[in-house]
Amino acid sequence: MRQIDHFISGGAGAAAKRFGDVFDPNNGTVQAQVALGDAAVLERAVQAALAAQPAWAATNPQRRARVMFNFKALVEANMDELANLLSSEHGKVIADSKGDIQRGLEVIEFCCGIPHVLKGEYTQGAGPGIDVYSMRQPLGIGAGITPFNFPAMIPLWMSGVAIATGNAFIIKPSERDPSVPVRLAELFIEAGLPEGICQVVQGDKEMVDAILDHPAISAVSFVGSSDIAHYVYQRGVAAGKRVQAMGGAKNHGIVMPDADLDQVVNDLAGAAFGSAGERCMALPVVVPVGDETADRLKAKLIPAIEALKVGISTDAEAHYGPVVTAAHKAKVEGWIQTCIDEGAELVVDGRGFKLQGHEEGFFIGPTLFDRVTTDMSSYKEEIFGPVLQMVRAPDFETALSLPSKHQYGNGVAIFTRNGHAAREFAARVNVGMVGINVPIPVPVAYHTFGGWKRSAFGDTNQHGMEGVKFWTKVKTITARWPDGSPDGGNAFVIPTMG
C-alpha cells in the first residue's frame, strides 16, 4: 500500500511510528497510509529550516521572484497530475480540483511581484542632515496548518507569500488528503528553492501542538473549523507567535424581489452544492425577501437541484463528487435529520444516495430545506455538506440582520438589480467579504481574504498586502551623516526633528 511521508530538507522523513488511513472517497476503500509525525519529526524540519533560511533571506527579492515564476510554470505543466491526485484523496471532481490549484497559483502570480511590494518608505531630510527609511524583513520560520477541503489552494496561499518574503515555511496538511502539499514542495525544489525552505510534516493534533509550542517558529497560519481555530490562536499567541486562524462559516445569499432568479438559481447550484458543499465560502443559506420571492425561487430551485449529477471525481459530467470521509458523510446526514427534527420543511432529501458501481463511496445527494428559522441549531452551525437552507425574510432590514447577527462572518452575497440596495447592504452588513451578484466572493489574489467574528481570529488576513505584512516585520532606520562640525545639541534629551 502506498505510504505518504513527510518532506524534510528535500527528502522523506524517518520511519514513522504511527499511521493514518487515507481513503478513496469514490469507493470507500483505504488507498494509502500517511505517517503521523511528532515533535521529533518537527524538530528535524525546524533545524533544516534554521540552516537554510538566513541565506534565503539574503537572496535578493528578484531572484526569489524568479523561483516563483519557475514554480508557477512547473505547477501548470503538472496540472493534470496534481488535479488527479487531489481528486483521488478529496473526492472533488477534476475540474474543481483544477480550480483549487489555479486559485492557489493566482497568489503565486502575486508573489512574482514581491520585489515591488517589499519596497520600504524613505524620507530625505526628516531633520537637519537626517534621513529616515524602513525595510520589511522576514520573520524567520513560519508554519501553515491547512484543511482538507482545499489541499492545494490554501497551502499555496500561505507558502507563496511566506517564502517569497524570505521565510522558511513548514506545511502541516490535513491527514485526510496529504499528498498534494508534498508534491508541491517537490516542485518548489525543482523550481530552484533551496532545500529546507519549504517542508511538509504530516500529523494530527500531536503535530499541531508541537508546531504551536516550538519556540523557533515565529508565525502560524491556520484554516479549519472555528473551535480549532480559536484553540490554535490562543495556544499560538500564548507561545509568543503571530497567528492568523481562519474558522468556519455560514454564508448567506440575500435574494431581493428584483433579482434575476434564473441567474440566482444557477449561482446557488454551484455555490451551495459545488465541491459537495465542503467550502468555507460555500453559500448554504439563501434568504429570499418576501414570500412571493421565496415561492418563485423555490419553484425554480427544485428542478435545478434534481437535475444535478453526483458522480465520481473523474466523471467529467458530474457537478460534484463524494464528501471526504465516511465520518463526514455521517455528520452531514446527522445535520439533515436534526434540521427535520427542528421543524424545517424538507423539500429535497439527499440522504441514501447510492451511485451504481460505487455503492460504498461517500456520496450525499443535494438537499434543500425551506422555512428554516434562526433558532434552529442546524442554522446556527456549519453543516459543510451539500445542504441548502432557505430562511424567509419579510423585508430588507430583516435580511440584512441575519448574516450580521450570525456567529460567523466569513462571506455574504446579495442578488439584486438595485444599486442603492446593494450599496447599502455592502456598507452595513457585519461580514468580512461581500459579493454583489457574486455568489462566492473570494477576493482576487492582490486583495486580501478574511472573515469576521468567529470566522477569523487574529488581526491580519491572508494573501495580498495583508499577507505580506503578516509574514514580515518592519525595521525603521534613522540615519545622520555629520559633516564634522558639532551641532551643539543636548545628547541627554530625546531627539526631535524640529
Distance between CA atoms of residues 111 and 117, nearest Å = 9
In terms of DSSP bridges, do strands 168-172 and 198-200 run parallel, antiparallel, or are they unpaired? parallel
Q: Report pLDDT for 229.
A: 97
**Cα three-residue angle 406-407-410, rounded to 5 degrees:** 85
Could you tell me where in the chain the CATH 3.40.309.10 domains are found?
Answer: 252-436
Q: Report pLDDT for 491.
A: 62
DSSP state letters, 284-350: -EEEEBSHHHHHHHHHHHHHHHHT--B--TT-TT-SB---S-HHHHHHHHHHHHHHHHTT-EEEE--
Query: What is the CATH class of 252-436?
Result: alpha beta
DSSP state letters, 111-169: HTTHHHHT---EEEEEETTEEEEEEEEE-SEEEEE--SS-TTHHHHHHHHHHHHTT-EE
**How far lies 45's CA from each of 73, 143, 170, 190, 199, in Å?**
27, 11, 8, 19, 7
Q: DSSP class of residue 419?
A: H
CATH T-level topology, domain 2-247+455-459: Aldehyde Dehydrogenase; Chain A, domain 1 (3.40.605)
Residues of 388-404 as b/e, b for ≥16 C-beta within 10 angstroms?
A: bbbbbbeebeebbbbbb
Q: 261-283 pLDDT, tens per residue?
A: 999 999 999 999 999 999 999 99
At 237, give phi and psi (nearest 5°).
-65, -40
Is 280 among the residues known to form the active site? yes
Torsion of CA 5, 8, 11, 14, to 10 degrees: -60
The burial of 405, by beta-carbon neighbours within 10 Å (0-12 exposed, 13-18 middle, 19 or more buried), is given as: exposed
Catalytic member of 112, 198, 280, 339: 280
Q: Report pLDDT for 494.
A: 74
Cell numbers for 84 = 488527479
**How far lies 40's CA from each of 31, 143, 206, 252, in Å?**
27, 16, 11, 44
Q: 295-343 pLDDT, tens per residue?
A: 999 999 999 999 999 999 999 999 999 999 999 999 999 999 999 999 9
DSSP state letters, 32-67: EEEEE--HHHHHHHHHHHHHHHHHHHHS-HHHHHHH
The burial of 13, by beta-carbon neighbours within 10 Å (0-12 exposed, 13-18 middle, 19 or more buried), is given as: buried
Distance between CA atoms of residues 179 and 82, nearest Å = 9
Q: Report pLDDT for 17.
A: 85
Q: Report pLDDT for 483.
A: 76
Place of cell 438595485: 418
Length of the chain: 498
Q: Are 332 and 364 in contact (CB under 8 A)?
A: yes
Q: Are 413 and 253 in contact (CB under 8 A)?
A: yes
Cell numbers for 340 = 427535520
**How far lies 35's CA from each of 150, 298, 406, in Å?**
20, 47, 38
**How far lies 360's CA from each of 244, 329, 339, in Å?**
38, 11, 25
Could you tell me where in the chain the CATH 3.40.605.10 domains are found?
Answer: 2-247+455-459
SS3 per residue for 64-110? HHHHHHHHHHHHHHCHHHHHHHHHHHHCCCHHHHHHHHHHHHHHHHH
Please tell me whether residue 494 adopts helix, strand or coil conformation.
coil
Which pLDDT tens digits describe the chain residue by residue (498 residues)? 899 999 999 877 667 789 999 999 999 999 999 999 999 999 999 999 999 999 999 999 999 999 999 999 999 999 999 999 999 999 999 999 999 999 999 999 999 999 999 999 999 999 888 999 999 999 999 999 999 999 999 999 999 999 999 999 999 999 999 999 999 999 999 999 999 999 999 999 999 999 999 999 999 999 999 999 999 999 999 999 999 999 999 999 999 999 999 999 999 999 999 999 999 999 999 999 999 999 999 999 999 999 999 999 999 999 999 999 999 999 999 999 999 999 999 999 999 999 999 999 999 999 999 999 999 999 999 999 999 999 999 999 999 999 999 999 999 999 999 999 999 999 999 999 999 999 999 999 999 999 999 999 999 999 999 999 999 999 999 999 887 666 556 666 776 666
Q: Report pLDDT for 108.
A: 98
Q: Report pLDDT for 42.
A: 97
